[in-house]
Amino acid sequence: MNQHLLPFYYWLESTALSHWVNRETQWLWPTMETLHFIGLSLLVGVAGFFDFRLLGALRGVPISAVKKFMPWALVGFGINLVTGILFFISQPRVYAANSAWWPKLAFIMIGGLNAMFFETAMGERLLRLGPDEDTPISFKIIGAVSLISWFGVLYFGRMLAFFGTQISGL
């Protein structure tokens, strides 16, 4: 564990929010986990649908129409960000010591930055693409990176229960 971050973890553990999650853990933890899985399905389902169109599949589907679904992927991401932060601040040192946690975080960063890059740098080009048209190589790379990174997030999220110290709620 990174020793420089220890004071931060101790501070997190001292917050009222951290105490609340730990106090109410019996019902709160299963509830947050369920929400985390629902968010996962939203994110993977909707973003995966978009990614496959970016890869050039689903011909005949206008890419701009598929993009209209993306706010729902963002809803899923938001649910998982909130529940994920609550998981973390309840036991920050346990997560930080878990060797699956850092790769999970890295994949979240890659997936997030990839989506932000696409949104800001390629948004206009996307709207010009016809419904039956193949996608340019740049779109295919973005789609592949997105699929791989969200799968990585899911994989290492699952591995949290099997790598390192047992997290109390898992």
Partner 1 sequence: MLKLMWALEDSAFAQWVAGAPTIWAYPSILTFHTVGMGIVVGASVVLDLRLLGVGPELPVSRLKVLFRPLWWGFWLNAVTGVVLFIAHAAEKYGQAVFYVKLALIAVALVTVVRIRREIFPEDESAPTHPITRKVKLLAVLSLILWAGAITAGRLMAYINLS
Residues that bind partner 1 (CB under 8 A): 30, 33-34, 37-38, 40-42, 44-46, 48-49, 58, 60-62, 64-69, 72, 151, 154-155, 158-159, 161-162
- Is 32:83 a contact under the CB 8 Å cutoff? yes
Cα–Cα distance measured from residue 30 to residue 43, given in angstroms and rounded to the nearest whole number: 20
Of the pair 42, 94, the CB lying nearest partner 1 is at: 42
Tell me how far, at minimum, the Cβ of 19 lies from partner 1, in Å. Answer: 22
Tell me how far, at minimum, the Cβ of 94 lies from partner 1, in Å. Answer: 18
Of the pair 9, 80, the CB lying nearest partner 1 is at: 80
Q: How many residues does the chain have?
A: 170
Q: Read off the tokens for 151.
A: 């799968």
Cα–Cα distance measured from residue 85 to residue 161, given in angstroms and rounded to the nearest whole number: 17
Tell me how far, at minimum, the Cβ of 62 lies from partner 1, in Å. Answer: 6
Cα–Cα distance measured from residue 24 to residue 6, given in angstroms and rounded to the nearest whole number: 25
Tell me how far, at minimum, the Cβ of 33 lies from partner 1, in Å. Answer: 5
